[in-house]
């Protein structure tokens, strides 16, 4: 299979109506924070056991088409000895890999950040592909204040995202492009919309410059909403209207799928907001989810590191996956939360 056909086959498997992605790619420090909430040590075996719980959930492939793994997880095995990427593929879930190396301060731009990881990326892709990864993810972050992000940060992060995407496609791996406008702060929803529009506009300019094939990427943006510390929190209707308006202004219809990050929203909020957007259709792209905490928080709290709680935790994950699947079709009903 040539590279273009390979990329198209992966996109087709990932972008299916009513299916989204499970983001299980927490870095070492992030998973340690999550485990701390249930009083569990972040040992390699505990991390493996938790990812095993997620990936062996019966029926998950009905609602989830892909899973983003961390480098450690890509090389780990399930309880039965099956490598996690092969286990996922067997269950109809495409395995992917987070490839950026995290964020650092952007030089000469106080308050702005840039993502590392381009050096040696092409060589890393050879190993990731050999282990079974078919798509990748790179996250750029943008802090919002009255003056941030700077023009420099918007341009520098867009260029890194585009370079990563080009290297990824050349390796036959579908890139997920993730420009996250953070919800930290006291900014208005209008300020969030302004920054998101500028960020996405620059990202697609950079993708075009780097000759990235838009039909073979997925976009993973943040939703447009007021900062978490703003006095007036955004309504579901406002979030949907602002987000879809900005996407229509900036994202070419050639992009097959947009999979939102939850970005600190509660599981219920992330589901309701996705549903509201899908009720504004028809839209030129498939709008779905790529949630981490908004899918994992309920199963993590149910599990609490106890083998006896695995089935309850898997039921909690399957419920959230099912509700988000309904939201991706614009068919979510808040009353379903009680079932």
Which residue out of 6, 26, 113, 178 is catalytically annotated?
A: 178
Which residue out of 113, 220, 269, 297 is catalytically annotated?
A: 220
220 is catalytic: yes
CA distances from 77 to 99, 110, 130 (A): 20, 42, 15
Asked if 292 and 232 touch (Cβ cutoff 8 Å), the reply is no
CA distances from 252 to 201, 246, 307 (A): 10, 12, 46
Q: What is the Cα–Cα distance from 236 to 275, expressed in whole angstroms?
A: 9
Asked if 287 and 277 touch (Cβ cutoff 8 Å), the reply is yes
Which residue do the tokens 């709008």 mark? 287
DSSP 8-class letter at 83: B
Q: What is the four-CA torsion angle of 295, 297, 303, 304, rounded to 10 degrees?
A: 160
**Which residues are bridge partners to 195 per DSSP?**
none
For residue 320, give the nearest of 54, 15, 48 by alpha carbon: 54
Catalytic residue numbers? 178, 220
């Amino acid at each position: 299979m040539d590279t273009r056909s390979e990329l198209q086959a992966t996109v087709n498997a990932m972008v299916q109506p009513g299916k989204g992605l499970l983001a299980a790619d927490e870095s070492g420090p992030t998973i340690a924070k999550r485990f701390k909430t249930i009083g569990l040590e972040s040992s390699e075996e505990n991390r493996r056991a938790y990812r095993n719980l997620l990936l062996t959930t019966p029926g998950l492939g009905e609602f989830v088409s892909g899973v983003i793994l961390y480098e450690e997880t890509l090389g780990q095995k399930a309880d039965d000895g099956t490598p996690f990427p092969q286990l996922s593929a067997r269950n109809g879930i495409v395995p992917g890999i987070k490839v950026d190396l995290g964020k650092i301060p952007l030089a000469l731009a106080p308050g702005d950040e840039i993502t590392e990881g381009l050096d040696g990326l092409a060589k890393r892709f050879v190993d990731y592909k050999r282990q079974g990864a078919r798509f990748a993810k790179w996250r750029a972050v943008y802090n919002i204040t009255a003056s941030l992000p700077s023009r420099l940060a918007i341009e520098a992060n867009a260029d890194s995202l585009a370079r990563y995407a080009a290297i990824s496609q050349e390796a036959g791996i579908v890139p997920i492009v993730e420009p996250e406008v953070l919800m930290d702060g006291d900014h208005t929803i209008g300020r969030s919309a302004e920054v998101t529009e500028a960020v996405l506009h620059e990202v697609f300019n950079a993708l075009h410059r780097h000759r990235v094939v838009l039909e073979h990427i997925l976009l993973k943006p943040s939703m447009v909403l007021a900062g978490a510390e703003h006095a007036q929190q955004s309504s579901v209707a406002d979030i949907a209207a602002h987000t879809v308006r900005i996407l229509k202004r900036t994202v070419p219809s050639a992009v097959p799928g947009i999979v939102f990050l939850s970005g600190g929203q509660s599981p219920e909020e992330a589901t309701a907001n996705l549903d509201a957007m899908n009720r504004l259709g028809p839209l030129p792209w498939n709008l779905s989810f790529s949630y981490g905490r908004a899918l994992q928080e309920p199963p993590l709290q149910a599990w609490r590191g106890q083998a006896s709680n695995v089935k309850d935790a898997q039921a909690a994950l399957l419920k959230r996956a099912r509700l988000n699947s309904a939201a991706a079709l614009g068919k979510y009903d808040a009353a379903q939360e009680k079932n």
